Chains A and B, each alone.
Chain A
Amino acid sequence: MDQHLVFLLFGLANGAIYAALALTLVVTYRSSGVINFATGGLAALGAYTYAFLRRGELLIPIPGLPKTVDLGSELTFWGAAAISVVITSLFGLVLYLAVFRPLRDVPPVGKAVASIGVMLLLSGLYTVRLGDIGITTEPILPVEPWKIAGANVTSDRVWFAIVILAITIALAASFKFTRFGLLTRAAAESEKGAYVSGIQPDRIAAVNWMISGAVAAVAGILIAPIVPLTPNLFTLLIVPALAAAVIGNFQRLLPAVIAGLAIGMVQSELTYLKGQHDWLPSSGRDEMLVLLLILIVLVVRAKPLPSRGVVVRPALGRAPRPRSILLPTVVGTALGAVGVLTLSGDWLIALISGFIFSVIGLSLVIVTGYAGQISLAQLTLAGVAGFAMGRLIDGGVPFPIAPVLAALIAAAIGVVVGLPALRIRGLPVAVVTLATAVAIEAFWFHNLDFVNVSGQDIDGPTILGIDLSARVGFEYPRKEFAFLCLAVLVIVAVGVAKLRTSRLGSQMLAVRANEKAAAGAGIPVVRVKIIAFAMGAFTAGLGGSMLSYFQANITFITFSVFLGLTVFATTYLAGITSVSGGVLSGVVGAGGLLAIGINEGLGLGGDLYPILSGIGLVTILMTQPEGIVGPFHNWLDARRRAKLADLQAVAVQALEGHLEPQEPVPGGDVVLQTRGVAVRYGGVVAVDGVDLDVREGTIVGLIGPNGAGKTTLLDAMSGFTRSTGTIELHGRDLSSLKPHQRVRAAMGRTFQHTELYEDLSVSENIVVGAAAAQGRDPKTLEETLELLGLSDVAEVPVAELSQGRRQLVSIGRALIGNPRVLLLDEPAGGLDSRESQWLGQRLRTLRDSGVTILLIDHDMHLVLNLCDDIYVLNFGKVIAHGVPAQIRADRTVAEAYLGSTHADQEVVS
């Protein structure tokens, strides 16, 4: 027991630093929606500033200025600590004002990427200014041997934990009892509520950033005497701190801090247990523990992080469709080949390294750019392939089987990395993939059971007697190897471009845009995500194999998580949503041509490059969501648009129609039938026992006041919400089917706010829906366009369309799957009365072609003139049913719409 306690208490120091960082993570997230990956950088700033002040020097981390200013005399502890805390806290304020406040309308993912940029920037600054030599300081907290319950510990660790706990309790109390605390909690609950209450969320956030800075500084100062300071000391401590913050749900201070302390203690205990139990891995225990915690909390709970209910822009930029693949391929290959032939020495090394990192960048284009899953593990997956390939080569597997097999192994691991993303989405995916990357690195790449101390040697590739190695004797880098890498890059780039134009690519984009709508279009969301992770990991694996050949000896440093974050940042900077961006990422990345160009051309040290990328990333996020290649895409677009000018004129033409009332058609057999369908949310009954029949070849209207339960009923029918009762399509019970299976069973559906892909053409948008027709014949694109009258604008990007035609495109997406019944949720939303009548004409044509339609709409004029049969819903129940003339004459319907006059008259029912 004593030994357990000794180790548990020993872990308090690490635990305290995790706890402090978790505390700052929660404070900043709660007030500004930023998961600040740069938190460790703030702690380091506090620690370094303190260490230098104690020597009588003021640290200036900005390159170009003197490194320190001599203050004449050494400062006391209190003086140095106070100044460091103030400086770090002000720096927190500057970060908020300069970076995160301008980004406040950007979704959390974008903000997190910006904070990765800041993290790289700070770590780059410390490396340039302070070097890698550890800096130590005098003890602050009393170091005495203590005996606690029979266990020996040094008191400084215990004190450290107590100080952090005390700060937390003080902070929690001030959030509870002061006016500022009240406003902070209010703004965290609802930003909209804050605005309408005259609270300024910006100011609240600014003060919270200052608090974060101060807490980080305190943690940094207190850890400085315990662990020597190095530039990256704090960087990856962010991962356990994230786990602790996740346990506090990014909202609650005390649980997060206690979790942080506990993680440190358990990690230390694991070290002891390793001595007792051989089966525990010799490396990676701590990281696996953290990963496990994150997985348990995030994946099992599977709730999004608390959001503050603000309207945000889409997370990622457009993913433009490559217009032509041949021309860029020929030009790009030629440019690459000329580069290989003309360059030599450092320049050629940079070119090859660029080729390789372009491949890894393209893997991010697949996973993140297309499928929308933020993966921070791609370089680690490249490493998986690298180390696996080393083993394969040792076992005698020849080139090119070894790298392909290694990439397949990476793909398998990639699927495992991606599994949690089946249950969670958005920012938590980034957190999980980061933790997984850290765990893989620690468990495998660092593990002496698997990898020698001297690293893994990789023999060069040879094929048909030709040596393609990067080095033979003193000849390095060899052009043969450069051509091999160029070939791999060209194949991968063409593949990723083809993917973008393929049906699978469209499905990935559909998943990225809106998972619910994607399932509504019949896309198997789970499978598409898994395929994306597998393809991304395979591509990263190819890159990793090439990198391993290039280096001839690989260690964990080659594939470090920190470098992986840099690769992610660079690819985001270059343009994570397009092939051109992925390729460019190799050129602009660290060690690429641009870096060496700046280095040689401007005579700047290579160390400055991370700093420049950090600044670049933040700037790009503010101005160009599509990355550096964005303006180029805009220019291409403008040219394309000029060509389409005539079509565009058609596209924006006012649509006017007049819908003549018609005798309702009786229709054929019942196609869709519900009996006793009910939906309950908690105690609220949203839909209450609805019986409804839809006959073949009719248009059935579902109307009712706001909140009557119409959309909920549609959700129940299409499987997006759990319901009781039966739903039958052509006599087949659908109750047990998932949404995309119902779509495939021929129930098409549109959504109130349909997400179209703005930069895709009308045809491309519609084709996404063809997945719905699996096992049945889809309608042809031409047929669909014809039916909806969209043929003449088929190639126009939907961004150019009028609202009326946009609605038709979303109907077309559901229609191309050849559904038996089409459920339309507010197809006339946002249309004026003439457009809406025009839409009615189109829907009638559709009905006459044999499509059965159930529609919700608020435009009563449209519904009454168009529908053959109408159901009126109020408070979740059918209050009227009949042909339009009956509904028009029904007093209960008029009352439901115009509201009650007086309650006493209402009580009759």
Chain B
Amino acid sequence: MTIAEPLAAKATPGNPVFVCDGVRAGYGKVNVVHQFDLEAAAGSVIAVLGPNGSGKTTLLTTLAGLLPAQAGTVSIDGQALKNGRPGIAARRGLVLVPDDRALFTGLTVEENLKAARGKHATTVDQAFDRFPALAKRRKINAGDLSGGEQQMLAVARALMQEPRVLLIDEMSMGLAPVIVEELMPMVRKIADETGAVVVLVEQHVQLALEVADRAMVLVHGAVVLDRPATELAKQTELLEAAYLGDVESVEAKAPAAE
């Protein structure tokens, strides 16, 4: 296979890179996310929002294959991924930045990046170019970094694998708002520059909506809102209703998205 093919696929509009079809997620017999459908084109940023406990993390964990899906398929470039196989998903370009970051805390920053490089062309120096703050800390153990630096490292490590789809879970967890504001535009930049689809689960709703193309709101495991981010950003009352778990009034005010 030549390199031209995926690039061509990327360029063709209406040819979604990332497709989730009827994904049902949960633990054992317990179902958490009832149904999740998504078609995303290269370079797009999708914000997945919703109150705590609505199933966002379960969803991303499932999409990445760390948790077997209860139903449905996840495909990249039209090819379905094997269910529940995180290693295969990562090698096919579906890379998760988990909410606990899952860094190799006893390894240095540089080693974390090298470990994830695989056979890809991206070098550690390129990663440091993108995240200059990390370059200064290259010999420091990942466990000794500040929260913001750890988050950068988690994203940088994911980018070493040249992902086609990047799933980022709760990037701002435990971070000061100033740091979050610094990190958020980086997400947009990654999508624009690498052409990766970015799926972003985020607590800071307004900040997420500023960088996203499209937003989906999950409440009790069901998608209750799905619309362009700019549109939703203006509908504060709808968002608040969703966050307060008031599904009825969301449904009343917002006819199902097309």
Contact = CB atoms under 8 A, between A and B. Distances in A.
Interface residues of A, number: 50
A897 interface: yes
Interface string B151-174: 000000110110000000010111
B251 to A, nearest CB: 11
| A contact face: mostly helix, strand, loop, or mixed | helix
B228 interface: no
A139 interface: no
B245 A200 contact: no
B104 A195 contact: no
Given A897-B51, A899-B206, A833 B245 contact: yes
Nearest to B158: A196
Interface in A156-205: 179, 182-183, 185-186, 189-190, 192-202
B34 to A, nearest CB: 8
A294 to B, nearest CB: 24
A861 B114 contact: no
Contacts of A803: 30
B188 interface: no
B205 A706 contact: no
Interface in A292-343: 309, 311
Contacts of B207: 899-902
A200 B107 contact: no
B97 interface: yes
Interface string B208-234: 100000000001111000000000000
Contact of A858 (B52, B98, B104, B208): B52
Contact of A906 (B170, B177, B243): B177
Contacts of B239: 898
A759 B25 CA distance: 24
Interface string B85-122: 01100110001111010111111000110111010000
A826 interface: yes
B243 A189 contact: no
B51 A860 contact: yes
A902 B206 CA distance: 8
Nearest to A306: B106
A607 interface: no
B53 interface: yes
B39 interface: no
B181 A902 contact: yes
A894 B206 CA distance: 12
Given A193-B103, A860-B243, A833 B115 contact: no
Nearest to B90: A198
A308 to B, nearest CB: 11
A470 B41 CA distance: 82
B32 interface: yes
Nearest to A862: B245
A120 to B, nearest CB: 33
Contacts of A311: 67
A832 B114 CA distance: 43
A200 B219 contact: no
A705 B52 contact: yes
B118 A903 contact: no
A29 to B, nearest CB: 16
A795 interface: no
Contacts of B219: 833
B240 A898 contact: yes
B135 interface: no
Interface string A857-887: 1111110100000000000000000000000
B172 A832 contact: no
Contact of B96 (A185, A196, A864): A196
Given A196-B158, A833-B220, A861-B245, A707 B204 contact: no
Contact of B115 (A183, A707, A829, A894): A183
Contacts of B158: 196-197
Contacts of A832: 34, 220-222
Interface string A891-909: 0001001111111001000
A398 interface: no
B177 A197 contact: no
A186 B104 contact: yes
Contacts of A857: 53
B244 A185 contact: no
A254 B100 CA distance: 31
A63 interface: no
A179 B205 CA distance: 40
A196 B97 CA distance: 7
A186 B247 contact: no
A789 interface: no
A833 B103 CA distance: 35
Given A894-B240, A899-B205, A900-B207, A190 B87 contact: no
Interface in B141-158: 157-158
B118 A198 contact: yes
Contacts of B96: 196
B178 interface: yes
A195 B90 contact: yes
Nearest to A864: B244
A569 B103 CA distance: 38
B84 to A, nearest CB: 11
B177 A900 contact: yes
A186 B204 contact: no
Nearest to B247: A833
Nearest to B182: A903
A131 interface: no
Contacts of A198: 87, 90-91, 95, 116, 118, 161
A197 B86 contact: no
A861 B246 contact: yes
B111 A900 contact: no
A824 to B, nearest CB: 14
A251 to B, nearest CB: 9
B243 A706 contact: no
Contacts of B174: 707
A145 interface: no
Interface of A: 179, 182-183, 185-186, 189-190, 192-202, 309, 311, 705-707, 799, 803, 826, 828-833, 836, 857-862, 864, 888, 894, 897-903, 906
9 contacts: A185-B106, A193-B104, A196-B97, A196-B102, A832-B34, A860-B246, A861-B246, A899-B208, A901-B207
Question: Which 4 A-B residue pairings sit nearest by Cβ, starting from the closest?
Answer: A899-B204, A861-B245, A858-B53, A197-B116
Given A859-B51, A859-B245, A861-B245, 9 more contacts: A185-B107, A186-B104, A199-B116, A833-B220, A897-B243, A899-B205, A902-B181, A903-B178, A903-B180
